[in-house]
Structure formats: C-alpha cells, structure tokens
Amino acid sequence: MALFSHLTYLLALSLAAALVGAKPAPAPEPALISDLVAGVQTLVGNIGNAPPPKLFWTPTPSPQCAAINQGQLQCCRGALAGDQPLVVFLAGIYGYKLNPNDVNGIICDDQLAQCPGVKLCCQITALNPLLSLYCQDY
C-alpha cells in the first residue's frame, strides 16, 4: 500500500509541477491596415507595374486627349504624385503600384465647363469620383 501512495504522491507532484510551469498562450497581435493592403497587393499581383491593361482604360477616351495619352478629359480638384501616401494607399487597395512620377487626379468628374480645379487626361477613370490614375496635364 505504501508503494501505491508513493506513486500517487509522485504523480500528483509531477502534475502540479507541470501546471505551475505552464505559460499562457500569447495573445495575437492586432492586424494593421498596412498588413491588409500588403495582402491585397500580393493576391492581386503587380497589375500596376506596367501600363494599365486595355481592359481598365477609360471606355470613353476624349478627342482632346487623343494626342496626349488617349485618356479621358477630367476636371480634378487636385493632382497628386504617385508617391503621395493617400494615392499609394488607394491605388494599392485596387492592386495598382504607381510610379512616383505619375500624376493622378483626386475628386474628378467630367464637369469641364466650369472646372474649379485642374484639367487632366486620365487613362484610368474606373475609380471616379475618388481617384483617376495615369493622368497627364491637358
């Protein structure tokens, strides 16, 4: 009987030691928006590294832009370079990786008669009114 009580005591002691030495599982780190954008870019690929595919070009090129870049004439409230954080973020969501020297229009429409901003010829207008990509001055 003494052997059984010693085994029970040793088993209880080893179980207690295992419980005391156990550490809680670490809490997961919260996800960052940059991780989300990086994941979307990885899934979509590097679509924006080359000129935009014909599929994404504006369906209605303007005659005024035919000699410039075959884009659509837009009235944009502002023009931002391709390396500006807002443009990088928004373009990255859709998988575009812009050249830092690209001109991009922000808050664009086709109200050209009384344009309060800058007139640009933009190749990608699918993200309007928020953003027009691959633009050049008119």
Whether 20 maps to a domain, the answer reads no
Q: Examine residue 88 and state whether it is found in any structural domain, yes or no.
A: yes
pLDDT at 51: 57
* 8 found inside a domain: no
Is residue 108 in a domain? Answer: yes
Domain assignment present for residue 62? The answer is yes
The total number of structural domains in the chain stands at: 1
- Report CA Rg, the chain: 29
In a domain, 29, yes or no: no
- Using alpha carbons, list the distances in angstroms from residue 85 to 36, 43, 88, 90, 100: 15, 21, 5, 9, 11
- 60, part of any domain: yes
Q: Which of 48-52, 71-75, 98-102 is the most confident on average?
A: 71-75
pLDDT of residue 108: 94
Q: Mean pLDDT across the chain, nearest whole number?
A: 77
Question: Counting beta carbons within 10 angstroms of the beta carbon of residue 57, is it exposed (0 to 12), middle (13 to 18) or buried (19 or more)?
Answer: buried
Cis peptide before 129 (omega within 30 of 0): yes
For 126, the domain range is 53-137
Q: What is the reported pTM?
A: 0.57
